[in-house]
Amino acid sequence: MTTKAPFGSAQAPRPVKVPVEDTRHGTTRTDEYAWMRADNWQEVFRDPARLAADIRAHLEEENAYQAQLMSDTAGLREALFSEMKGRIKEDDSSVPMKDGPYAYGSSYRMGGQQPRYFRKPAQGGNEEILLDGDHEAEGKPYFQLGGIDHSSDHKRLLWAYDDKGSEFYTLRVRDLATGAELADSIESTGGGGTWAADNNGFFYTLLDDNHRPSKVFFHQLGDDTANDRLIYEETDPGFFMSVGGTRRNDWIMISISDHETSEYRILNAADPLGTPLLVAAREAGIQYDLEEGGDIFFVLTNEGGARDFKIMTAPVSDPVRANWTELVPHQPGRLILSIMGFRDYLVRLERLDGLPRIVVHERATGEEHAIAFDEEAYSLGMAGSYEYDTDVLRFSYSSMTTPAQVFDYDMRTRQRTLLKTQEVPSGHDADAYVTRRLMATAPDGEAVPVSLLYRRDTPLDGTAPCLLYGYGSYGITIPASFNTNCLSLVDRGFVYAIAHVRGGKDKGYSWYDDGKRAHKQNTFRDFIAVAKHLVDEGYTSHDRIVAQGGSAGGMLMGAIANMAPEAFGAIVAEVPFVDVLNTMLDASLPLTPPEWPEWGNPIASEEDYRTIAAYSPYDNVGAFDYPPILALAGLTDPRVTYWEPAKWVARLRDTKSGDNPVLFKINMDSGHAGASGRFSRLEEIAYTYSFALKATGKADVKPAT
């Protein structure tokens, strides 16, 4: 395989090898780059300056190498950034959502990187800025706002921020009458909190040194944080935990779950010092979510074999599992994704035949009706409501050709009110583009959905380059939604494609089950099958396909690179989870125990060890003629630690055949989400797209107008 546009001949970094052996289940593996993992990695997450000098020197050498090979794309990156920025309404504002006497929303100022949060009188009046993200971010190389929650009496704001990229959030409380910060400040939280009924204190999760939300505390305003009361402690490191409230301000809900099992403990919001009530004890494989409903809870669950979920009700006076009553039965193939309760209605978001729809259930009569749309592929989401006693539901809609729209929907009259359509200041002619829904056949005969976007004048004779995106893990579905950024590729003749591979829930819960643990290889085979289908149908050619994925999707990129390097013209792996076996063998890492249900536990199970070892990208690097590869990472990433892609890149260079380059770009000031700030993020996307254009020989192509 040869590149269409030479990347140059700069000397790639060649880090030292320090072999470290590890023997498990009778098998010994050698990791020559284990030294790249800092011994003090927990400290580095909190303070990147603590990184060892030799590791920092290597990472900076990697950045210098990729900068040299990509130096000729500086003008292209500037053009791409300008185009993408031109499609953003710089002073954009959300549609305020009513909550009693006020309506709350967010907005940006011209040139601003961070959002501002505001409110205005619900009946009309002047806008009041409650929190200015640009002001809070001043002087910080990284800044990300977390959860923001106004008190039900509208007097205070509970807000969180992370200024390292490590997702250890600091909680603050602001007096909305004066704008002053109260003395209450709590570090190392999960990123949000929820108010008690009297608004004089709040609940929050505290992260331990391994970045796990292991404890829920209650903080009384004005009190020393040392006196915060422990409400609940989760001792199993394999479970995530969060705390939230209800719109009626009557319950505090502690949600505890891994990827296949869940448990709730609830507390009367008016009794913050009470003891949480266990609703239904965790049982392996049984999932349930609670939603408020006045004198009942709605329960979304898979218990009783309801693989695609059903809805039950439970009395708030005694909501234990024995008292659950079926309301909406299980229907195989109809996956219920989420529910939202109102005084007179229950609303559910579900996916049927691969497409989402919203169904409104009238509580008094049981009558139901659906909100659906007619395009081949689209994205639909419930934005919900701050209020419980209302007939109005807010939802959003978009497709790959239709800019995002926000509607208010009167559930009683069934009238839709269009509140906002996403503006594209530089212009957008939807008729110039085509969106399609294809089905590719996997090796085992399964039909894999593919969402496509391309210009109507793009020749479909195999000459078009293609960016093929995939994820395929945790049951996450990648929506076929409007994306102004990818238009910079599409306007240069690219076909933009999303492969809805197994591991997501695109075709129901079974689509997820068939792409995890022992069945994980289906995810990779599906993606390769999609690439082949696009070639067979004349949309592109193999040497013109740029594969892209991030996080667990980055693992997908590493796997398909080893399995079918000849099927792709280039590969972009963002914050890639590529050292799967070593990570799952280390129970001290932030996400390892909670991830065992998704990947398997190779410590306890030899079968799981063999399964992961068979596809783990780092462990399967070979002497293959890989296409050009770009890996991107963040130093303070607690989800995919920086050393995973660093090691992978080093081993790729040392092992591969051919002359195609492997580039590694690491942001030394950010974590899993990349650069903070909306324009800084666009610069990263422009870099990635310039790599895709360069790798496919299209760096000099001007966008169609």
Annotated catalytic residues are 551, 637, 672
Torsion sign (Cα): 152, 154, 156, 157? positive
Distance CA 588, CA 114 (A): 34
What is the helix (H) or strand (E) element at residue 394, kind and residue range?
strand 392-398
CA dihedral 699, 702, 704, 705 (to 10 degrees): 140
Q: Helix crossing, 643-655 with 53-69: angle to 10°?
A: 60
**Whose structure tokens read 């961070």?**
114
Q: How far is CA 686 from the centre of its chain?
A: 20
Distances (CA, A) of 142 to 136, 635, 670, 671: 11, 12, 6, 9
Torsion sign (Cα): 308, 314, 319, 320? negative
Kindly state the DSSP code that residue 36 receives in the 8-state scheme. G
Which amino acid appears at position 140 of this protein?
K
Strand residues in 199-276 grouped as ranges (E)? 201-207, 213-220, 229-233, 240-245, 251-257, 262-268
Ramachandran category for residue 667: left, alpha or beta (phi over 0 → left; psi -120 to 50 → alpha): beta
What is the helix (H) or strand (E) element at residue 581, kind and residue range?
helix 580-584
Question: Helix, strand or coil for residue 301?
Answer: strand
Q: Helices (H), strands (E): how many in the chain?
A: 13, 37
Ramachandran category for residue 445: left, alpha or beta (phi over 0 → left; psi -120 to 50 → alpha): left
Question: Helix, strand or coil for residue 241?
Answer: strand
Show the tokens assigned to 110.
Answer: 């011209």
**Whose structure tokens read 């919001």?**
269
Distance CA 48, CA 151 (A): 35
Q: Please say whether the beta carbons of 468 and 453 come within 8 A.
A: no
Show the tokens assigned to 693.
Answer: 């254009």
Question: Helix, strand or coil for residue 283?
Answer: coil
- In the β-sheet with 310-315, what is the strand arrangement from edge to edge? 288-293, 296-301, 310-315, 325-328
- % helix, strand, coil for the chain, step of 5: 25, 35, 40
Comparing CA positions, the residue from 339, 336, 343, 344 lying closest to residue 290 is 339
Q: How far is CA 60 from the centre of its chain?
A: 27
Q: Please say whether the beta carbons of 508 and 335 come within 8 A.
A: yes
Q: What is the DSSP string of 330-379?
A: --TTEEEEEEEE-SSEEEEEEEETTEEEEEEEETTT--EEEE---SSS-E
CA dihedral 114, 119, 125, 128 (to 10 degrees): -60
**Whose structure tokens read 């949600």?**
255
Distances (CA, A) of 109 to 84, 113, 132: 17, 8, 10
Q: Please say whether the beta carbons of 540 and 495 come within 8 A.
A: yes
Distance CA 373, CA 352 (A): 12
